[in-house]
Amino acid sequence: MSQSGNFVDYVKICCRSGNGGAGSAYLHRDKKTSMGGPAGGDGARGGHIIVKGNAQLWTLLHLKFRKHITAGNGGAGGATMKSGKMGDDQILEVPLGTILKNAETGETVFEITHDGEEKILVDGGRGGLGNWHFKSATNQTPRYAQPGEPGKEEWKILELKVLADVGLVGFPNAGKSTLLSVITAAKPEIGDYPFTTIVPNLGIVAYRGNKSFVMADIPGIIEGASKGKGLGFRFLRHIERNAVLLFMIPADTNRTVKEEYRILLNELEVYNPELAQKPKVLAITKADLLDAELQKEIQKELPVGLPSIFISSVMQKGMQELKDLLWKEIV
């Protein structure tokens, strides 16, 4: 999975919730009573493993080396109806867009999408009931109480899908990293070779009137990515969480722009048909290589009904117009 540098979008951890405390079988005694009625307190529940959303986190890096998460055990019930002390919960803070899965079945348990949202990943064991619960007309002094319920040990997978307003989609070297470095404060690695970007880069784009939106440079996909070829699934999943997809096709492509757009769109549709329903914008990059006549020729063959723009990140051509186009789709 994508584990390079400080960006970690997949971790597998063993979660152990706390055991429930045992109920007490105490029988009441005082100066006047040597053997009174049942007065054993209840055992407390064991600690839960809880997941909490934190909008300030962008990665699962802080959990990468925590392979075992263990919550506290619940305390046993005491004399004179005193309940035990509840086991300490373990709270795992995660970025928004984190999906929790059962490691054995691969089934999704839930996902965290809001700041401060809390969900129980593994329940602590229930505490046992004290003996006073079992008093009856025929058994006035029960000398037994319930044991606590054992905690659970389960392996879980945490998988992060980047939450961004705009996701950049294109083959390697389409100019995505360059655009991100020009239009935001992000500093992605830029190079003229495939897969320079091996983890998603996020940047904040400043817009008119102190507004802003988040842009994610998703690693370049190749034909066959939807079947896991190349860097495959691990990157396509990030695109699912973007509100708008900005397709980027360089002016010097070996295919026609329409052909390249169809291939990119097909890879996304094969992976997840719902992606085709997202708002899309097309940017023809490296437009500084085109003269007016060539640009006019390419314009004629662009997909119909798709908002499009010619840009040059290096020359900073069309940057504001691109922001306007994207903002219109986001809102």
- Closest alpha carbon to 144 in 19, 24, 20: 24
Average the pLDDT over 253-282 and give the result: 85
Same fold, 1-160 and 164-330: no
Looking at residue 306, its amino acid is: L
- Residue 190 CA to residue 201 CA, distance in Å, equals 11
Residue 118 CA: distances (Å) to CA of 28, 112, 328: 41, 8, 33
Phi, psi of 280 (to 5 degrees): -130, 145
213-254 per-position pLDDT tens digit? 888 776 645 444 445 444 444 555 656 666 898 999 998 888
User: Confidence band (pLDDT; 50, 70, 90) for 126?
Assistant: very high
Q: Where are the domains of the chain?
A: 1-160, 164-330
As a whole number of Å, the end-to-end CA separation of the chain is 33
Question: Dihedral, CA atoms, 114, 116, 119, 121, nearest 10 degrees?
Answer: 100
Q: Which residue in this structure is represented by tokens 């597998």?
A: 12
Q: What is the mean pLDDT of residues 46-74?
A: 92
In this prediction, residue 125 carries a pLDDT of 97
- Between 29 and 156, where is the model more confident? 156
Residue 17: is its pLDDT beyond 80? yes
Q: Report pLDDT for 127.
A: 97
What pTM value is reported for the model? 0.62
**Sole residue written with tokens 């006019």:** 296
Query: What is the C-alpha separation between 187 and 279, in angstroms, rounded?
Result: 26
HSE (CB half, 13 Å, CA atoms) of 64? 15
pLDDT of residue 272: 72
Q: Is the pLDDT of residue 320 over 90?
A: yes
Class of domain 164-330: alpha beta
Which neighbouring-strand residues pair with 96?
none
* CATH domain 1-160 topology: Spo0b-associated Gtp-binding Protein; Chain: A, (2.70.210)
Percentage of residues of the chain with pLDDT beyond 70 = 83
pLDDT tens-digit readout, 66-97: 989 999 999 999 998 999 999 999 999 998 88
Q: What's residue 161's pLDDT?
A: 78
- Per-residue pLDDT of 157-193, as tens digits, reads 999 876 678 888 888 778 888 888 888 865 544 444 3
User: pLDDT-derived band of residue 141, with 50, 70 and 90 as boundaries?
Assistant: confident
What is the structure's pLDDT at 188? 45
Q: Would you call 6 exposed, middle or buried from its count of C-beta atoms within 10 A (0-12, 13-18, 19+)? A: exposed
Are residues 46 and 71 in contact, defined by beta-carbon separation less than 8 angstroms? yes
**Count of CB atoms situated within 10 Å of the CB of 36:** 14
User: What is the helix, strand, coil percentage profile of the chain, to 5?
Assistant: 20, 25, 55
Pairing of β 153-160 and β 10-16: antiparallel
DSSP character for 134?
G
Q: What is the pLDDT of residue 4?
A: 44
